[in-house]
Chains A and B, each alone.
Chain A
Amino acid sequence: MRGSELIDCDVYDADGKRLGAVHDLRFDLKWTRAHQLTCRLTGLECRDSSALGHRLGYGTGDMAGPWPLGMFFTRSRARKSLTVEWRDVVSVEPGRIRLKRRVGELRGESS
């Protein structure tokens, strides 16, 4: 499986409701004692609109200013963005990812 196969996939909850498309992948990065890299996929960033704010760094908290942009993208992210844990993924089909939980449960957990 390639990373690009997950990017832009539509994400559907347990009821079949579309949550948005995958715009980014979250990994846990760790070095073993033998200096071997392990990088495990832990989450998917889903948005119902453009990922411009996330790509500019506002989604991950790396960008603080200028304040009008920061405020705009932070509000936009809070309204539309959702990070889905990989453990909630049931299946990955071409262009479509299915989750085992409902959108309400996912938003309640992420807030």
Chain B
Amino acid sequence: MTSVWANHFIFDRVITAADGQHVGMVDDIELSDPWDDAAQPAVERAPELTALLSGPTALGPRLGGRIGTWWLALGRRLRPTGRGYPNRIPVEAVKTFDIRGVELKIDTSEVATRRLDDWILEHIVLRIPGNGS
């Protein structure tokens, strides 16, 4: 068992998919609710990491203040309609986790953080004449 600090070891780490593509950064983390099951003793009720969150709607609240509010508003306006935000990577998909970054068991196509890139590729880049496709 290793004891780590979030600012030093978890936040702002680069997330890499199984195919080697960078798919975002750890902007925030999702924790289990410690008061879901009050029958358990206090130590057992310690929150556990359930997912890594990435994207402007994850980073905004962590930044806080006016800059954080603006960043969150920007992220909300740019998100695709009908999709859940922020981008969520369940902890079950994590293969390695160290000071250099997070490596996933899943490929880029399965990671929600690439949705904006895919949208730009499909709706803008591929429509430009001579795009090489």
Contacts and interface: CB of A to CB of B under 8 A. Distances in A.
Interface of A: 1-5, 7-8, 23-30, 35-42, 45, 51, 54-55, 57, 59-60, 62, 86-87, 92
Interface residues on B, range: 20 to 34
Interface in B67-94: 91-92, 94
A24 B34 CA distance: 18
A27 B64 contact: no
Given A27-B3, A36-B92, A2 B49 contact: no
B8 A62 contact: yes
B7 A42 contact: no
Contacts of B2: 28-30
Sorted nearest first, the 6 A-B pairs with minimum C-beta distance are: A39-B49, A4-B62, A3-B29, A25-B6, A41-B47, A4-B61
Contacts, number: 100
Interface in B21-53: 28-34, 42-43, 46-49, 53
A40 to B, nearest CB: 5
Contacts of B92: 36
Nearest to A8: B64
Contacts of A40: 46-49
B29 A24 contact: no
A57 B61 contact: no
Nearest to B33: A1
